[in-house]
Amino acid sequence: MVHPLTLIHPRNLKHLSHSLQGLIESQLWAKVLLGMVLGLAVGMVLSPGAGLVPPAIAEVVSAWVVLPGNLFLTIIQMIVIPLVVASVIRGIAASGSTEQLRSTGVRLLGYFLFTTTVAITIGISAALIIAPGSYIPDGSLTLSPAATASIEDGIEGEALDLAELPTALVNLLPANPVTAAVEMNMLQIVLFSIILGLALVSIAPERSKPLLELLGSVQSVVMRVVSWVMRLAPYAVFGFIAQVTMQTGFDALVGIGVYVVTLLTALGALLAFYASVMAAVVHISPWRFFGLVRQLQLLAFSTNSSVAVMPVTMKTAEEGFGVRPSTAQFVVPIGATVNMDGTALFHGVATLFLVQAYGIDVSIPMLLALVATAIGASIGTPATPGVGIIILSVVLGSVGVPLEGIALIVGVDRVLELFRTATNVTGDVVATSVIDTVTPHGKTLEEEIVEQTELEGVQEETGEDVVTSDPHAGHPVAGAAHRASQFWTHMQERIRGG
């Protein structure tokens, strides 16, 4: 019988993202940039400052050019809930078994929550200090009445005393998940999905298989819709940028440029944090650490997919940092689908950029909601190019920012996404190394490598997977273990040779 967790196998995830990856590789990014340039040109022509088109005609033209963008946002709202639910549950189910979840998994969960919180904190701090949204001209972006009412309700709820705190904590869980979905309460949806994912891991595989199959189909269907909606992206960017430029003029570009600098600065700070963790826990100098992950970062930057470079991530962890194959095969697949520190940081920077651009007052409850939702949304972000900007709508909704604000950043997000992916895979290597260092092991590294090599030899002779107690035995990326064994043998020969 096929184990249900093979449904979340990296090979299946890679197949899931194949159509969207092909779309991205077919110069979608170039079309988006072209749409941005054309939108700027049309917006400048239609702007009141140019005086080339009567205001009444410009208003009619603006309403039509923004039509593809409105369709783009509506479809995003339509698919975001099934996408998050399926992705979060399947990401948690990737832990494989309750035994591994209780031992290595508990440490891994704690580490992921810690680093994701650090990442979102770095992003929020950078956005608050640099304030990129303040470079957008005042009054150029306006809130709808519904958004204003939502924010006012949040402000009224800020005066929460200790007597009301228990009720507020209980209300984080959805009494009715359907109501939470209708109200687009994404924090409740994410928590509901996390609970279901944990429950799935705890029951027998034959009983969890049907639901995992259903969620796999849901994710496949939603990802197909994502690939369709991404075809609208160039036209959406054209319409939104044209409309924004009509309202703000060329000054909006300055704010976008400062936003790019803010995000890259925050990502650099996160990489420095990774280096400090490796120095403190694994005792590897920052210089050597960046030297070992350089090739992996370049490959991730080029492919823009954490899943696609998963074998290289394992190889880097095992051969570069001496991680045991069992740890790498457990942590890396989960990290590629759950550990999205760069994405969480992006959500923090982008959300506060738009909060500042819309002139919304930043409050402590808003920041807490932002942190909680960004952590949950990062778990539900598939490791697929182009999806991060869609998941951003979840975070924006949690703090009352209109989805129309995405237009300001979607034009430059394709390039910034490459940097986020490189940061994400770096975080996976760090997580694997740290967990391997702090987790007790019953076997030595040499014994594990020998066992993996013997297992692969039997598989090559029989052409079948060997059933073992390891839920990840027969993993298609276990070739990294074979390369690690060759590396180990080579090192032993060098030691014997003096």
pLDDT tens-place string over residues 367-410: 888 888 888 777 656 656 666 777 787 788 777 788 777 877 87
pLDDT of residue 266: 97
Segment of 21-30, 248-257, 406-415, 425-434 carrying the highest mean pLDDT: 425-434
pLDDT of residue 272: 97
Residue of higher predicted confidence among 464 and 59: 59
Question: Is the per-residue pLDDT at 81 higher than 60?
Answer: yes
pLDDT band at 117 (very low <50, low <70, confident <90, very high): very high
CA 318 – CA 299 distance, rounded (Å) = 17
pLDDT of residue 155: 40
Which of 42-51, 66-75, 342-351, 475-484 has the lowest average pLDDT? 475-484
Q: What is the mean pLDDT of residues 26-36?
A: 71
pLDDT of residue 141: 59
Which of 99-103, 352-356, 429-433 has the lowest average pLDDT? 99-103
Alpha helices in 164-320 (DSSP H): 165-170, 177-182, 186-202, 205-230, 233-248, 252-277, 286-303, 310-315
Provide long-range contacts, Cβ within 8 A and 24+ apart, for 207-215: 208/4, 208/93, 209/2, 209/4, 209/7, 212/4, 212/5, 212/7, 212/8, 212/90, 212/93, 213/4, 213/7, 215/85, 215/86, 215/89, 215/90
CA 106 – CA 124 distance, rounded (Å) = 27
The CA radius of gyration of the chain, in Å to the nearest whole number, is 24
Q: 361's torsion region: left (phi>0), alpha (psi -120 to 50) or beta? A: beta
Residue of higher predicted confidence among 306 and 483: 306
pLDDT of residue 262: 96
Residue 324 CA, chain-centre distance (Å), reads 26
The HSE-up count of residue 466 (CA atoms within 13 Å, CB side) is 17
**Amino acid making up residue 142:** T
Q: What is the mean pLDDT of residues 107-127?
A: 92
Segment of 101-115, 129-143, 193-207, 417-431 carrying the highest mean pLDDT: 417-431
CATH annotation of 4-441: 1.10.3860
Q: Is residue 413 within 8 Å of residue 237, measured between CB atoms? A: no
Q: What is the mean pLDDT of residues 347-354?
A: 92
Residue 259 CA, chain-centre distance (Å), reads 19
For the chain, the residue count is: 498
Question: Is the per-residue pLDDT at 252 higher than 60?
Answer: yes
**Separate counts of helices (H) and strands (E) for the chain:** 24, 0
The angle formed by the CA atoms of residues 335, 304 and 193, to the nearest 5 degrees, is: 40
Q: What is the mean pLDDT of residues 69-80?
A: 78
pLDDT band at 7 (very low <50, low <70, confident <90, very high): very low
Q: What is the mean pLDDT of residues 210-237?
A: 81
**CA distance from start to end of the chain:** 50
Which of 16-30, 384-398, 408-422 has the lowest average pLDDT? 16-30
Segment of 150-159, 170-179, 448-457 carrying the highest mean pLDDT: 170-179
Residue of higher predicted confidence among 89 and 10: 89
Q: 473's torsion region: left (phi>0), alpha (psi -120 to 50) or beta? A: beta
CB within 8 A of 422, min separation 6: which ones? 297, 298, 300, 301, 342
Q: What is the mean pLDDT of residues 119-144?
A: 82
Q: Is residue 333 within 8 Å of residue 94, measured between CB atoms? A: yes
Q: What is the mean pLDDT of residues 116-138?
A: 91
CA 425 – CA 231 distance, rounded (Å) = 27
Q: What is the mean pLDDT of residues 55-69?
A: 81
Segment of 104-113, 342-351, 407-416, 487-496 carrying the highest mean pLDDT: 342-351
Residue of higher predicted confidence among 15 and 327: 327
CA 363 – CA 102 distance, rounded (Å) = 37
pLDDT of residue 162: 57
Share of the chain above pLDDT 70, in %: 67
CB within 8 A of 273, min separation 6: which ones? 115, 118, 122
Q: Where does residue 128 rank: exposed (0-12), middle (13-18), buried (19+ CB within 10 A)?
A: middle
Find tokens 């490598």 and name the residue.
449
Q: What is the mean pLDDT of residues 447-467?
A: 47
pLDDT of residue 97: 56
Mean pLDDT of the chain: 74
pLDDT of residue 453: 52
Q: What is the mean pLDDT of residues 239-260?
A: 76
For the chain, the domains span 4-441, 443-498
pLDDT band at 457 (very low <50, low <70, confident <90, very high): low
Single pTM value for the model = 0.62
Return the HEC string of 196-211. Answer: HHHHHHHCCHHHHHHH
Segment of 363-377, 436-450, 456-470 carrying the highest mean pLDDT: 363-377
Determine the 3-state secondary structure of 30 from DSSP: helix
Residue of higher predicted confidence among 28 and 146: 28
pLDDT of residue 89: 78
